[in-house]
Amino acid sequence: MNTERAGEELVNRAWTVLAGVADPEIPVLSIVDLGIVRKVEHDGDSIRVGIAPTYTGCPATEVIAAKASQQLRHHGIEATIESVLSPPWTTDWITEAGRRKLRDYGIAPPRSGDTPVACPRCGHMETEKVSEFGSTPCKASYKCTDCLEPFEYFKCL
């Protein structure tokens, strides 16, 4: 097998492994679903993985890098994990599968434009913000005016 093809296979294997690394704050999302894995590049006998923090000072950033490195090593892949700060991460990078997983988990995914926050439980569009901050700084607390259930909304960043 030629070196270039072996490198491509290594990169593909790494993406598959990283797709199985759960976000520590929202475990139903992988770090690939969240869109924070910005690059996986072949570099000789190893690979370089670029991970973007969701926001400056996010306490989960180091945990995510350590988990990614550990899982890659567990699957026989030597990797260097790098922090990617530019361009800064945005909720636009959350995959469609990730948005579905958030909704199914009971967290309203980031919305586009001026659309209202829909209740992830019943889909009702009339909801009220209870607090600007939820369980983490990237989420806000809401309640549905129809089913009356509280829920979190993943804020647009």
pLDDT per position as a tens digit, 7-55: 899 999 999 999 999 999 899 999 999 999 999 999 877 899 999 998 8
pTM for the structure as a whole:
0.89
- Spell out the residues 6+ positions from residue 133 whose beta carbon is closer than 8 angstroms to its own: 139, 140, 141
Domain with CATH 3.30.300.130 in the chain: 3-91
Q: What is the distance, to the nearest Å, from the Cα of residue 57 to the centroid of all Cα atoms in its chain?
A: 16
Dump pLDDT digits (tens) for 89-144.
999 999 999 999 999 999 999 987 778 999 999 999 999 999 998 888 889 999 99
Architecture of domain 3-91: 2-Layer Sandwich (3.30)
